[in-house]
Structure 1
Amino acid sequence: MSSTKHFSKDFILVVIGQIISLFGNSVLRFVLPLHLLNITGSAALYGFVSAFSFIPMLVMSPIGGVVADRINKRNIMVGLDFFTGGIIAIFFLVYQQFNLVVLILIVLVLLYGISGAYQPSVQASLPFLVSEKKLVPANAIINMVSSLANLIGPVLGGILYSMAGLRTILVISTICFIFSAVMELFIHIPFRPMPQKNSIVHILTGDLKQSLTFIIKTRPIIGKIVVIIALFNLFLSAILIIGIPVIVKQVLPLKGFNTDEMLGYIQGIMALGGLSGGLFASTASKKLKVQSVWKLLLIGSFLLLPMGIILFLPLQGILQYGIFSVCCFAMMLIFTLTTVQLMAYIQTITPEYLIGKVIAWILSISGCFQPIGQALYGVLFESMKHFEGLLFLGAAIIAAGLSIYYKKLNKQLVSTTNEKIKP
């Protein structure tokens, strides 16, 4: 681990590689369904392809965690970027010769799967590249890259698609992924091979069981954190993902405004909030304590209250929109701070040989609850027209309860911080 004041060359190369990979992946995941929508004109098909493609990310995340702990993490990043470049190159050559729907679905499934497998390798590499004191700012940088990719990727993809078309995007993407893979060859991540006496399937199931046992029994505090994150995704993250578009486009009286543009602005504000949270976490890492996370979660929960209350008040639509925007920005800032803190804490109390698998389980389990919440809120917003504010108030109460439950874990958080578990 680097003991210098600044981050090591290897960490910087990992970040650059992640920038290229996440931005490229984000652009393609936006452009390909958009191209399908333009060609077919079917919104239902567009929705099905987008939703179905999300499944491989959930499946590949724990598998990627196992691989990240068994294989040199540098080689995983290199291999996935070369593989992605190859996929896009092949798609470029054949997409006009075969069924477009099937081809785009296959490519999106592969892109989401690669994204799910890639991220555990990046997260698991951090304890090998930075000192324990730098884990929080290092995680903050990784989260900022992700926020920027989510913020700028679709915008960049839309601009390139409208100006240059799909073929140009495919060529640029192929070149960028191959360049990233070549650059990552120069990264050095310490790696100690683990003995492999059994079949790949036996190793995979054994490793997944071992890491899940670690989360549930050896370090039950991690399991409790996962439950809290998952429930926040179910009740809070999902209401933002589904509720904000519904409120902006169908509920707020925004006459004279283009609601599509207004929705784009507020989504950009949310992404900017996530970016700001990452910046704050990287600069104030020494002041942030994992025991104080419950306070941040509680504040974020209470920010849902004004969003629900103003829907029952006879206010101007643009004023309601402004209040929603401010609350969304603050919530994304707060929840990025909590994510950075919790990820650094989990990396600190997890043995090196389990980090990849544990993080992968966290991403996969918590991620599973978000689409469930989206489906739930879709039904609720449809059935509770004119009473949408009650959904925000209810979500605030549930989220506040989860925050208070987290406070009860503080003693356990402190007691496990300095414990070391040997392999």
Structure 2
Amino acid sequence: MKEKQGFSRDFILVLLGQIISLFGNAVMRFALPLHLLNVTGSPRLLGIVSGFAFLPLAVMSPIGGLIADRVNKRSIMVVLDFFTSALVLIFTILHGKVNLVTLILVMLFMLYGISGAYQPSVQSSIPLLVAPEKVMAGNAAINIVSSLSSLLGPALGGIAYSMWGIMPILYTCIGCFFVSAVMEIFIRIPMIEREAGGSILSEAKNDLKESLSFIVKRKPAIGKLTLCCAGINLFLSALIVIGLPVVVMQILKLPADRANELYGYLQAALAVGGLTGGMLAGVLSGKLDIQKSYKIFFACTVLLLPMGAALTKGIPPYLAYGILLFSSFLLMICSSLYTIQVMSYIQIVTPKELIGKVIAWILGISTCAQPAGQIIYGFLFEALQSHAEWIFYGAAFVSVGVSFFNRRICSEIETVGEVYAADVPQNG
């Protein structure tokens, strides 16, 4: 199943399925809110619907982790892609016949919920399909696919929507999910058999206790690294999501006809930065050391300083924009490198029978951190818009504290080689 040279056939099939499925999901999650805004003309309604649609992702991640460790991961991917294809088909049938706001809200709820249940299966399958020394490269490949989908999905979806409207997009996505499901049928992922221990509820309760015990007691470094990943989302990612559109669209006082275009370039720079970070993680997978990961986190923190300085009074708007563009690009590279490195370490040190649930906890906690940060930054930018540079400086100051916490964790972490020596006998 695992191949010493390159990736296995089954991992390549997982990658191809991800490319098709994530692309369809990205197009849908971009086109549906845009369609809602065009039909209703209400930004407030768009914000409410988009915000609430995010919740199922956090709720379904732990559930997806529980399922991923007890059901064949290939079956989960196949069923969810077939289900998504049928869901989009139902949407096309009901479009124009029921309330659009309700229909889109339910659809976005389902898409985000499916994503939350789907990703633990994908992430937990990586150590089962690639050799140990290829785990980080495998994560980098998955990250590249995700970044490409985030970059191309909205871009192509926006072009298609402006030319043909929503219906051709829906038909295309039905095909994407269906083809992905058919392709995934041929994936072979080893299934770790577990003895039944009672009712479904009692087994779920025991699974949650076992995974939490592993994170908190057996490998407390994983729990602490999870908090660091949550810190990235809370203090850095949320700042990028909320701060950059406010800065470009309002604070820099750019011409109205250019602001939308320039913000689009900024979003593209973020996506390309994530893609570049994924590629670098793959190339440098043999050289990246988890014990030095705090340095990458610290680099993310440092990049907030020029972004804040760019907003100082007297800086020409286009110069400020250029600084923001370049700093955001570098920030996304570092953020992707850090996240891939941490996720790879966790996949290596976690027993195969727990990996789905452990990853689900990490995804769930990290996911919850970002909307919390978005709410905080929303209030801050409304209250301090004339002094927005201090928001960036404040985020940098807090993030420095997190990076020092990260450094202390790294000093306690064993190397990957030590992990193999200690765990190979008991995990096989």
How many angstroms does 1:10 deviate by?
Answer: 0.5
- For residues 95-244 of structure 1, the aligned pairs below 5 Å read 95-244=95-244
Alpha carbons of structure 1 residues 256 and 93: separation in structure 2 relative to 1, 3 Å? closer
Identify unmatched segments of 5+ residues in structure 1. none
Q: Deviations over 1:133-161 (max 9, x none)?
A: 00011000101111111111111111111
One-letter code of the match for 1:351? P
- CA shift, 1:205, in A, is 2.4
> Could you tell me which amino acid in structure 2 is paired with residue 420 of structure 1?
D
Q: Distance in 2 between matches of 1:41 and 1:249?
A: 18
Cross-structure match for 2:86: 86
CA offset at residue 371 of structure 1? 0.5
Q: Distance in 1 between matches of 2:313 and 2:306?
A: 11
- Within 1, Cα distance between the matches of 2:128 and 2:145? 19
User: Aligned partners of 1:120 and 1:56: how far apart in 2?
Assistant: 14
Q: Map 1:326-341; keep pairs closer than 5 Å.
A: 326-341=326-341
Cα distance, 1:313 vs structure 2: 4.3
* Aligned partners of 2:192 and 2:352 also within 8 Å: no
Letter in 2 for 1:409: I
Cα deviation for residue 265 of structure 1 reads 0.6
Partners of 1:350 and 1:226 in 2: how far apart?
14
Deviation at 1:4, TM superposition (A): 3.4
Cα offset, 1:256, TM superposition: 7.3
Three-state SS of the structure 2 residue aligned to 1:258 is helix
Q: Measure how far apart 1:178 and its partner are.
A: 1.0
* Count of equivalent residues: 423
Asked whether the 8 Å contact 1:243–1:377 carries over to 2, the reply is yes
Structure 2 gaps, min length 5: none
Instruction: Give the secondary-structure state (helix, strand or coil) at the position aligned to 1:386.
Output: helix
Contact 2:228 2:406 in 1 (8 A): yes
Q: What do residues 159-210 of structure 1 show as CA deviations (whole Å, max 9, x unaligned)?
A: 1111222111111111121111111111001112212242222222221222
Residue of structure 1 in register with 2:60 after alignment: 60
Partner-residue secondary structure (3-state), 1:190: coil
Residue identity matched to 2:104: I
Matches within 5 A, 1:349-388: 349-388=349-388
For 2:338 and 2:90, the matched residues in 1 are separated by: 40
Alignment CA distance shift 1:44-1:256 (3 Å):
closer
**Is 1:226–1:365's contact at 8 Å kept on the other side of the alignment?**
yes
Point out the more displaced range, 72-81 or 255-264. 255-264
Q: 1: CA distance between counterparts of 2:149 and 2:204?
A: 31
SS at match of 1:173: helix
Which residue number corresponds to residue 412 of structure 1? Answer: 412
Q: Is the 8 A contact 1:160 1:169 kept in 2?
A: yes
Alpha-carbon separation, structure 2, partners of 1:3 and 1:22: 25
Measured in 2, the distance between the counterparts of 1:111 and 1:71 equals 21
* Matched residue type, 2:45: L
4+ residue segments displaced more than 4 Å: none
Task: Tell me how far apart the structure 2 counterparts of residues 294 and 318 of structure 1 sit (CA, whole Å).
Answer: 33
Show CA shifts across 1:198-224 (max 9, x none).
Answer: 222222222122212211111100011
CA distance in 1, matches of 2:204, 2:333: 36
2:36 paired with 1:41? no
Distance 1:59 1:379 in 2: 25
CA-to-aligned-CA distance 1:83-121 (integer Å, 9 cap, x gap): 000101111112222122111111111110001111110
- Sort the Cα spacing of 1:249 and 1:289 in 2 relative to 1 into closer, same or farther, 3 A: same
Output the CA distance in 2 between the equivalents of 1:318 and 1:50.
30
Q: Which residue of 1 aligns with 2:345?
A: 345
* Alignment partners' CA distance in 1, 2:117 and 2:336: 21
Q: Deviation of residue 312 (structure 1)?
A: 1.6
> What is the letter of the counterpart of residue 154 of structure 2?
P
User: Which shifted more, 162-171 or 324-333?
Assistant: 162-171
SS at match of 1:97: coil
Could you say what secondary structure the match of 1:273 adopts? helix
The aligned counterpart of 1:28 is 28
Query: Secondary structure of the equivalent of 1:70?
Result: coil
Distance 1:256-1:120 versus aligned 2 partners, 3 A rule:
closer
CA–CA distance in 2 between the matches of 1:414 and 1:207? 26
Identity of aligned residues (%): 50
Partners of 2:308 and 2:391 within 8 A in 1: yes
Q: TM-score, normalised by structure 1?
A: 0.97
Q: Distance in 1 between matches of 2:419 and 2:377?
A: 37
* Distance in 2 between residues matched to 1:176 and 1:227, nearest whole Å: 35
Equivalent pair of 1:311/1:389 in contact (CA under 8 Å): yes
Aligned partners of 2:419 and 2:253: how far apart in 1? 50
The within-5 A match list for 1:238-317 is 238-255=238-255, 258-317=258-317
In structure 1, distance between residues paired with 2:25 and 2:165: 17
Report the TM-score, using the length of structure 2 for normalisation.
0.96
Q: Counterparts of 2:70 and 2:353 in 1: how far apart (Å)?
A: 8
Deviates more, 1:330-339 or 1:302-311: 302-311
Q: What is the deviation of 1:410?
A: 2.3
Q: Which moved more, 1:56-65 or 1:28-37?
A: 28-37
Letter in 2 for 1:392: F
- Mapping for residues 310-325 of structure 1, pairs under 5 Å: 310-325=310-325
8 A Cα contact 1:71 1:193, kept in partner? no
| Equivalent-residue separation in structure 2 for 1:143 and 1:27 (angstroms) | 17
Instruction: Return the alpha-carbon distance in structure 1 between the equivalents of residues 186 and 123 of structure 2.
Output: 18
Asked whether the 8 Å contact 2:235–2:395 carries over to 1, the reply is yes
In the alignment, the residues of structure 1 paired with residue 219 and residue 284 of structure 2 have an alpha-carbon distance, to the nearest angstrom, of 27
Secondary structure of the structure 1 residue equivalent to 2:49: helix
CA RMSD of aligned residues (A): 1.4
